[in-house]
Amino acid sequence: MSVAVLLSLAGLALLDGTSVGTLFIPVWLLLVPGRVRAGRVVVYLGTLAVFYFAVGVVVVGGAGSVVAAVGGALDGRAALWVQLAVGVGLFALSFRFDPKRRGEGRGGVSRWRERVAAGSSSVVWVVGLALVAAVAEVATMLPYLGALAMLAASDLHAGVVVVLLAGYCVVMVLPAGVLLVARVVAASRVEPVLRRVDAWIGDRGAGATGWLLAIAGFLVARDAAARLWFMDG
């Protein structure tokens, strides 16, 4: 396992850390009037991380079983070609997201904001919100799907893959976690920053999707190309 692979996974995780579920909703939870309820944000982020970790284990484990069943015929290279195709596909898909077409994206974001504002502070509600957000977004968390393709195509031991998945999920919720700590430690200084982030979400957040897809596609394709043509085997 090379440093480049680790950096690629970390980059994809940070990209995933800017989605509605991993960043936008935590920002809105931190902006709810009154005293900051750090506990519910921690519960929210923990639920999200555990959900994506479980999905990753199932997906990578299933993909690994399929590759193992096919046997030596693939010799690992077919999986890398699939990974390369996924990366190129993500990069190509990014061009379909025109930053000028923001109306639909704002509508979806607004619905999530209203759901957070109208919710309660109970643990059950917070866990439910995290699960609903995760289920709604899991099919569109394309950087995560790209990372899973990278891990499925690798020849790493299952234990190492599990550790990498856990680390990925931690890094994925890290941006929101940093904002939470900053909000608790320096509320008066951080709240204006959170409000600017909220304004950016409503104004240009949806237009960032294309950039996220392009970067994720590049990282996934670069890893596959490097292992296909510039490494032994």
Model confidence pLDDT, tens digit, residues 15-68 = 888 888 898 889 888 887 777 788 889 999 999 999 999 998 888 877 555 545
pTM of the model: 0.73
Q: What is the rounded distance in angstroms from the CA atom of residue 231 to the CA atom of residue 83?
A: 16
What is the per-residue pLDDT for 98? Answer: 53
Q: Buried b vs exposed e over 75-110: b needs ≥16 C-beta within 10 Å?
A: eeeebbebbbebbbbbbebbeebeeeebeebeeebe
* pLDDT tens readout for residues 157-197: 888 889 999 999 999 999 999 999 999 888 888 888 888 88
The model's pLDDT over 74-122, given as tens digits with 9 standing for 90+, comes to 446 777 777 788 778 777 766 665 555 444 445 556 667 777 766 666 8
